[in-house]
Amino acid sequence: MEYRFYIGTKVIFGKNCVFASRQELEKLGKRAFIVCGRNSARASGALKDVAGILEEAGIAYEIYDNVENNPTLENVADAGCLASRFRADCIIGIGGGSPLDAAKAVAVLAVNEIEPVELYSGSFKKKPLPIIAIPTTAGTGSEVTPYSILTRKDLRTKMSFGSEELFPRVAFLDARYTESMSYDTTVDTAVDAFSHAVEGYLSKRSTPVSDVLAVEAVSLFGQCIEPLLEGKIDFSVREKLLHASMLGGMVISHTGTTLVHSLGYSLTYFKSVPHGRANGVFMKEYLLFNYEYAKEKIDNIFKLLGIKDTEEFGDIMDRLAFIKRDYSEDEIKLYASLAIKQKGPSYNIRNVCSEDLFDIMKRSLLSKRL
């Protein structure tokens, strides 16, 4: 048995944890560059809380609130230039996966004079600025990963880069900040977190430790299925979802994602399907494809979810991740050809070729059940 396990992030979880551990914000320098989107950081109250603490501590800060959904290389280059000009000591990312992933890119670009595409080298002359991550969604787990996923217009897809130096120094997880999410966003991000746990569990790179975390994340998601389906999402459910999201992030920090994410990227890039929902569309066929190669693990997933089989699982995913099935075979061929170029398929527990991806997409996107 051989494996490595490393999480470079101090996690502080709980209601009002930013105030309880405000010293973590105060000890990373005197100039903070805040990276966020236009809405969630403010709507959640997280930006107000952080700004108040920084002001009381006499820490200068600048806010970059122009992070796009699915940020591009051009978007993070703009923010990186501003952070460099501001002479930031640290980067504070507030928001969902897009701002947190953008914050990691900004932490590199603020101190390295490189072209944005060079982020994908994963090796930087100057060490990235320290990052504080404050999620306002319960989905990506980016607050505990060393990865940043950015949109590549040149490749017509999303692609990740990573380095151990990009683990956020501190992550504050307060479920209060997720209460401003809409119902649809809550569901989409929950499915994303679930897909992280499942893909990591069924990855060739899984370890005994990552499996423990994945099992716990799947179990938590299972406890939240009924509230998600019925729209009865109280604070206790939001805490479970946020915890599951964090655990899922820890899992993929070691395993990466597999073919589900690779397939889902095209739905997001070409059709603007929310990332988590795009993943959910393929989950049933993904489990069917892998079943004979990971029967014990997949049966355990069903047990943890409290369901009988793949059909029942598919019905749940259809309700949580509904999309119109209006895709052509030509579109699906294009998406499969893009997905096979990603790293994810090579991590899948069963070997995958482009024809396999086409078949999974065809069964998922040309289904007549809906």
pTM (2 decimals)? 0.96
Amino acid identity for residue 339 in this structure: A
User: For each successive 10 residues of the chain (370 residues), what is the average pLDDT?
Assistant: 92 98 96 97 98 98 97 98 98 98 98 97 96 98 98 95 97 98 98 98 97 98 98 98 98 97 97 96 98 98 97 97 91 97 97 97 75
CA distance 258 to 344: 4
pLDDT digits 0-9 by tens, 246-263: 999 999 999 999 999 999
- Give the burial string for 47-59 (b: 16+ CB within 10 Å, else e): bebbbebbeeeeb
CA distance 288 to 74: 39
DSSP letters of 98-149?
HHHHHHHHHHHHTT----GGGGGG---SSPPPPEEEEESSSS--GGG-SEEE
Q: Any idea how long the chain is? A: 370
The residue written with tokens 């190669």 in the block is 293
What integer pLDDT is reported at residue 367 of this predicted model? 58
- Say how many Å lie between the first and final Cα of the chain, rounded: 45
Listed in sequence order, the residues at least 6 apart from 228 whose beta carbon sits closer than 8 Å to its beta carbon are 186, 187, 190, 237, 320
Listed in sequence order, the residues at least 6 apart from 237 whose beta carbon sits closer than 8 Å to its beta carbon are 224, 227, 228
How many C-beta atoms surround the C-beta of residue 16 within 10 A? 11
What integer pLDDT is reported at residue 370 of this predicted model? 38
